[in-house]
């Protein structure tokens, strides 16, 4: 589980809840019709803006945001260098015995194509096509939360306008104007809170996850192509370490870069 995402969501909600408690009774901030307008309206608008099959990926996207397992680029480099050493020492066919120990299915497919003797151009083309499809899938997940974050405040404003119209059309009792105004403004509050604490931050987190995974897949493509070409393991490491920020590289690599 991604602790940062969970802690951020819980801390944000706790801050809002604490502020509401300081402002008086929390029951004054609960209005079911307002919730229905914001959540229902935002969901409906998001569903309208994209094919339903894309929207049905919502649970999987939530899982991606909360339970994503981050891969250390240095661990990936070490794994690719080890594969390069095996291929250099025992021949590329020896990598077939290593495939069963590899968890990343993308890397497995690349190594398997290299073992099968596929042309380098074919291997690179297939892996890059798969990477492009992965980018499209990630873009779909982020778009769901971007849309929810965009529509929730809009429906909050719509709910507020509905409440104001209802209040102004029934001003016979001036004592109810204050309560009516408060209820009308709650939809704007709900929309702003959901957009800025839940939807948009998760969309940004998904974008970050996508960037990390694209980097990993790009490193794998580079590594597989180097292994298939029979490059020296040191050269493979030198190529892949360029994907890692200088501050995160091993000490000896930092000295070489300098």
pLDDT tens string 121-135: 999 999 999 999 999
The DSSP code for 231 is -
Per-residue tokens: 31: 């209005």
Q: 184: exposed, middle or buried (C-beta count within 10 Å: 0-12, 13-18, 19+)?
A: buried
Per-residue tokens: 215: 């980097």
Per-residue tokens: 217: 């897949």
d(CA 196, CA 38): 14
d(CA 201, CA 126): 33
Per-residue tokens: 225: 């192509």
Alpha-carbon torsion (25, 30, 31, 37), positive or negative: positive
d(CA 80, CA 224): 8
pLDDT by residue (tens digit) across 161-219? Answer: 888 887 777 777 666 676 677 778 889 999 999 999 999 999 999 999 899 999 999 99
d(CA 258, CA 255): 5
pLDDT by residue (tens digit) across 149-162? Answer: 999 999 999 989 88
Q: What is the pLDDT of residue 1?
A: 66
For the whole model, what pTM was predicted?
0.82
How many CA within 13 A on the CB side of residue 29?
Answer: 15
Q: What is the pLDDT of residue 246?
A: 86
Alpha-carbon torsion (25, 26, 27, 29), positive or negative: positive
Distance of CA 103 to the CA centre of its chain: 21
Q: 165: exposed, middle or buried (C-beta count within 10 Å: 0-12, 13-18, 19+)?
A: exposed
Question: If DSSP codes are grouped into helix, strand and coil, which group holds residue 30?
Answer: coil
The DSSP code for 24 is S
The mean pLDDT value for 231-248 works out to 90
The mean pLDDT value for 1-26 works out to 84
Q: Is 182 within 8 Å of 28 (Cβ atoms)?
A: yes
Q: Where are the domains of the chain?
A: 32-244
Q: What is the pLDDT of residue 255?
A: 44
Per-residue tokens: 243: 């994907």
d(CA 167, CA 4): 42
Q: What is the pLDDT of residue 171?
A: 72
DSSP per-residue codes, 160-229 = HHHHHHHHHT--S-GGGHHHHHHHHHHHHHHHHHIIIIIIHHHHHHHHHHHHHHHHHHHHHHHHHHHHHT
What is the CB neighbour count within 10 angstroms for residue 203? 23
Contacts of 201 by beta carbon, 8 Å cutoff, 6+ apart: 8, 9, 12
């Amino acid at each position: 589980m991604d602790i940062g995402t969970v802690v951020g969501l819980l801390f944000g909600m706790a801050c809002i809840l604490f502020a509401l408690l300081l402002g008086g009774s929390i029951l004054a901030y609960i209005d079911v019709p307002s919730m229905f307008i914001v959540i229902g309206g935002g969901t409906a608008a998001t569903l309208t803006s994209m094919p339903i099959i894309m929207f049905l990926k919502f649970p999987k996207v939530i899982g991606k945001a909360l339970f994503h397992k981050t891969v250390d680029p240095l661990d990936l480099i070490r794994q690719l260098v080890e594969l390069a050493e095996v291929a250099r020492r025992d021949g590329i066919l020896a990598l077939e015995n290593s495939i069963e120990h590899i968890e990343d299915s993308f890397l497995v497919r690349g190594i398997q194509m290299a073992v099968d003797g596929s042309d380098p151009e074919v291997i690179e083309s297939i892996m890059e096509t798969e990477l492009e499809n992965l980018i499209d899938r990630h873009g779909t997940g982020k778009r769901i939360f971007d849309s929810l974050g965009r529509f929730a405040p809009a429906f909050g404003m719509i709910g507020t306008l509905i409440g104001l119209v209802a209040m102004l059309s029934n001003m016979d009792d001036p004592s109810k104007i204050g309560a009516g105004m408060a209820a009308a403004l709650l939809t704007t509050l709900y929309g702003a809170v959901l957009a800025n604490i839940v939807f948009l931050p998760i969309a940004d987190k998904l974008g970050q996850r996508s960037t990390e995974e694209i980097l990993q897949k790009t490193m794998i493509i580079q590594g597989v192509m180097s292994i298939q070409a029979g490059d020296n393991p040191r050269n493979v490491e030198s190529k892949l370490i360029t994907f890692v920020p200088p501050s995160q590289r091993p000490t000896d690599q930092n000295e070489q870069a300098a």
